[in-house]
Amino acid sequence: MTMSLNSKTITLQQLAKTIDHSLLKPEMTEAEVIAGCEIARRYHVASVCVKPCHVRLAVRLLEGSDVAVGSVVGFPHGSQTSEVKVSEARQALADGATELDMVMNIGELRSGHMEYVRDEIRAVVETAAGQAIVKVILENAYLTDEQKVIACKLCEEAGADFVKTSTGYAPTGATVQDIQLMRKSVGPQVQVKAAHGVRTLEAVLAMIDAGATRIGATATAVILDDFKKQRDSTVV
């Protein structure tokens, strides 16, 4: 069920647990992944989201912590075949991932091939069943509002745990309006993740108030340090 969070009452611990610390840049080195996992552990975020080749490393680094390890499927364009996406999911699960951020086939949705899109998502969801949650990236930059709503419905029908705004590789990312639209377009059992361009505490809190319960972020330390400073300054 959807968590009930708002910017006025959220605690530092709750805020940290909305953040998926993103370590997905193509040029990212192993040393940078290690440093990113250390930030995730220190701040007790919800998860790290790493490239498939780094899942085993992240699992090893975060063993014994309260931080989940996630990876990506069909990233970043969503154009792999369904069989390849299922294979990617299986490999990530075998390597220890417990969260999968899967890119929907954007072109197939825009072509009106709804059954294909739903069946592909369902195939990944069924592969992950009992092992990982699945977040489906819609890549809203390329969709009309009507298509965003349709995509949300297909994700829900396919059993996805989350709908997510963006990969970070399209022209635009998360907006408050899109989070509100996505939240209205799915039932309470499906959560909403905001990603791409959510770099400040103000932006994170706005997304949470719009209905997001996960945030994809790279500026994790800055965001959480700012929150702590802000809340500490209000304590008499």
Map out the domains of the chain with their CATH numbers.
12-231 (3.20.20.70)
pLDDT of 145 above 80: yes
Query: Could you report the per-residue pLDDT of 184-232, keeping only the tens digit for each?
Result: 999 999 999 999 999 999 999 999 999 999 999 999 999 999 999 998 8
Q: Is 101 a catalytic residue?
A: yes
Residues 17, 135, 148, 193: which is the catalytic one? 193
Q: What is the pTM of this model?
A: 0.96
pLDDT at 132: 98
Average pLDDT over residues 101-116: 98
Residues 17, 95, 164, 178: which is the catalytic one? 164
pLDDT of 99 above 70: yes
pLDDT at 232: 82
Query: Could you report the per-residue pLDDT of 36-82, keeping only the tens digit for each?
Result: 999 999 999 999 999 999 999 999 999 999 999 999 999 999 999 99
pLDDT at 120: 99
Average pLDDT over residues 133-162: 98
- The mean pLDDT of the chain is 96
pLDDT at 51: 98
**Strands of the chain, DSSP E:** 19-23, 47-50, 68-73, 99-103, 133-137, 162-164, 191-194, 214-217
Per DSSP, the three-state class of 144 is coil
Which residues on adjacent β-strands are paired with residue 69? 48
CA distances from 9 to 83, 85, 145, 227 (A): 44, 39, 31, 12
Which two structure tokens, joined as six digits, stand for 77? 């364009």
Residues 20, 85, 95, 101: which is the catalytic one? 101
pLDDT at 163: 99
pLDDT at 236: 42
Give yes or no for a cis peptide into 76 (omega within 30° of 0). yes
pLDDT of 3 above 70: no
Split at pLDDT 50, 70, 90, the class of 4 is confident
**What's the rounded Cα separation, in Å, for the pair 167 and 164?**
8
Tokens 């154009």 found at = 79
